[in-house]
Structure 1
Amino acid sequence: RRESMKVKCVGLTSRLDSLEAMTIAEKAAQLLQGRGLKVVMDNELAGKVGWIGETSNLSEMEVDALIIVGGDGTVLRTSRIVKSNIPMLVVNAGTVGFLSEVNPSELDAAIERLAKGEFQVEECTRVKAKVDDKVVGDALNEISIITKTPVKVLNLTVLKEEEAIISGRMDGLIVATKTGSTAYALSAGGPIIDPQLDAFVLVPLCPLKIYQKPLVLPSSAKIKVVIEESGSNALVIADGQVQAEAPASSVVTIEKSAKKSLFIRLWRSFYDKLRERLVRDV
């Protein structure tokens, strides 16, 4: 984790299909201005709420911190777009919200701590993928390889530094970061990775070889997944949002991205959030 820093200018974005989220974002803007902080609002959000202050595209935003109001999907989308040196503070306005740090009722206290610099910044590894020479993109949570045709199975050979570590017929494969270990990978039977451990989790989806279990690899590993000709064509999906086709006989290369995502941490420990996640009815 990094030590906190002085915040003078704060960006603001939210999910746009939720009146609740946009209302929380407007309240956040008022609280930030009330503490003497400059506010730059995402163009799309500004258009929705009638904001007359400074605006910017997310991809071009130059701010000391960014407040995101929304669920995990909003966070995954935003983290892909914004510059990697901007710490993000997430206010939950979604279904699961495991990536969030603040509940709406805590907004005032959270912004007070942000203004005072009373927070830490956590660096989170991202993972990237390409199919042969075509770049798919990078992900905060996971790269998923699934069959292109429903019910058909893939035949995969997974290599770590050219050594086969998983092989055979299965519905697909998840390669998750430590952040993503509590998302799709967890639901598919993968282990939870402590945030102090920088690792990737490989989770085979419904393998016919039932002894093939999830593997934990160092995030420095270069992973190749061969889509064998004797199986179905595949899709490679980054965080459920960006996808590319991987036809039979292609090779998917997966490795750590040069880009990192930064998150502002205030008061909730990883294990506090984990306990909430495991008992929440979603």
Structure 2
Amino acid sequence: MFFGVTTDVNKRQFVSCARKIVNSLKSKGTDIVVEESLAKKLGLKGKSIKDMDVDMLICVGDDGVILKTLLELRDKQIPLLGVRTPGNLGFLAETSTTNFDSYIDNILEGNWKVEERSRIEAEIDGEKTSPALNEIAIFAKRSATLIHYTLKINEEFMWRDSADGVIVSTPSGSTAYALSAGGPIVTYDAPVLVVVPVNSLNQARRPLVVSDDREIIIDEIESPVTCEIILDGRIRENIEEKTVKIRKSKYGALFVKLSEGVFTPLKEKLYMKVRQWEEKESLPPSAKLVLKVLEYEGPMTQKEIAEKTLLPRRTVRNALKILLQKELIVKRTTLRDARLSIYHIKGFDEE
């Protein structure tokens, strides 16, 4: 098999894990191509994501790496294998760096299948965006500024609203941004899309679930400032036109899955996601900040957390104690100094 490997080169831990995966694949005699920015870090020759012609693309790190890779692939469909690194929940990932060798052995033996998940694309003034896996959102560029818009489904008027923004989500995205905005959880195989108003002035406004063969039209967009369309939280484009048409893309996202009982069941991942979200809501502000920093930065020592958050060491200690009690993070001894402990987000495969 011919494998591609990519990661977020701005995160040292991801690069280190990607290096190990590349070495593991080489030791198994497989053909490999590495994404060009990662290749520079590893001293190898590489290719851009869009120029890769591989059987499987391995995304090392967190969900952000997978989302970014899919946006770069645009209409190109390559099966992705998400490999989460220590301290990253990796909701879209199929395996972890710890279990990678056994997973790749299963793949090389042919014990794998492809699961397709729907993506959505937007059309603005006749131009299509890259397909998004999770959601397409429309907001004002300046925070705390309302937008006014009309929602139509297949040209049928649904409502006129004033809100902070509006999200159109896929089933995969229903457990991401849309969930925190009050949207419902939808199973991945449901043939639907979800429209979620964000902080609508109309208290009766609720999320709307529609068939995914419908076209969702966000029309008559107005705001005191420029509005922007946001794809999976990563690509932002100004909206000069007043109309955005959103529909299911013909090009779904392909994910590598192993046999039943090998990967984390859907219900377990959904439970973990909802539980984490509920636990976050009850946290004090300091613990929320520490958790968010660990989500973005990966494993850190107590000193590093204090420096990053600018919180007093005593406050950081208390926040870590709360997060450990709620089993949202894991404490481990660092390899570089046995006297130090590192903290990271608890993953699916960690007790």
TM-score (norm 2): 0.73
Q: Which has the higher contact order (CA 8 A, sep 6+)?
A: 1
- CA drift of 1:39 comes to 1.2
Could you list the per-position Cα deviations for residues 87-132 of structure 1 after superposition, in whole angstroms to 9, with x for gaps in the alignment?
0000113744211111221111111111112122111111111233
- CA drift of 1:212 comes to 1.1
Number of aligned positions between the proteins: 272
Partner of 2:256: 264
Equivalent AA in structure 2 for residue 252 of structure 1: V
Is 1:179 the counterpart of 2:175 in the alignment?
no
Q: Secondary structure of the equivalent of 1:17?
A: coil
- CA drift of 1:154 comes to 1.1
Residue identity over aligned pairs, in percent, reads 33
Instruction: State the alpha-carbon separation in 2 of the partners of residues 96 and 134 from structure 1.
Output: 35
Partner of 1:89: 81
Q: Secondary structure of the equivalent of 1:139?
A: coil
Moved more, 126-135 or 35-44: 126-135
Instruction: State the alpha-carbon separation in 2 of the partners of residues 205 and 25 from structure 1.
Output: 37
> Structure 1 residues 37, 229: CA separation in 2 closer, same or farther (over 3 Å shift)?
closer
TM-score (norm 1): 0.89
From the two aligned structures, give the one with the greater helix fraction. Answer: 2
Could you list the per-position Cα deviations for residues 21-46 of structure 1 after superposition, in whole angstroms to 9, with x for gaps in the alignment?
12221221222223332111111111
Equivalent AA in structure 2 for residue 23 of structure 1: S
RMSD: 1.9
Give ranges in structure 2 of 5+ residues lacking alignment: 277-327, 329-344, 346-351
- CA drift of 1:137 comes to 3.1
Q: What does residue range 40-59 of structure 1 map to in structure 2 within 5 Å?
A: 40-51=33-44, 55-59=46-50
8 A Cα contact 2:140 2:223, kept in partner: no
Partner of 2:331: none
Partner of 1:72: 63
Instruction: State the alpha-carbon separation in 2 of the partners of residues 33 and 272 from structure 1.
Output: 33
Q: Secondary structure of the equivalent of 2:102?
A: helix
Select 2:207's aligned residue among 190, 200, 214: 214
8 A Cα contact 1:136 1:244, kept in partner: no
Instruction: State the alpha-carbon separation in 1 of the partners of residues 15 and 237 from structure 2.
Output: 32
From the two aligned structures, give the one with the greater strand fraction. Answer: 1
8 A Cα contact 2:117 2:189, kept in partner: no
- CA drift of 1:225 comes to 0.6
Give ranges in structure 1 of 5+ residues lacking alignment: 1-7
Instruction: State the alpha-carbon separation in 1 of the partners of residues 221 and 189 from structure 2.
Output: 35
Select 2:275's aligned residue among 268, 272, 279: 279
8 A Cα contact 2:77 2:254, kept in partner: yes
Instruction: State the alpha-carbon separation in 1 of the partners of residues 118 and 7 from structure 2.
Output: 23
Is 1:29 the counterpart of 2:6 in the alignment?
no
- CA drift of 1:47 comes to 0.8
Equivalent AA in structure 1 for residue 132 of structure 2: A
Equivalent AA in structure 1 for residue 19 of structure 2: E
- Indicate the structure (1 or 2) with the bigger Cα radius of gyration: 2
- CA drift of 1:242 comes to 1.8
Instruction: State the alpha-carbon separation in 1 of the partners of residues 201 and 170 from structure 2.
Output: 25
Equivalent AA in structure 2 for residue 140 of structure 1: L
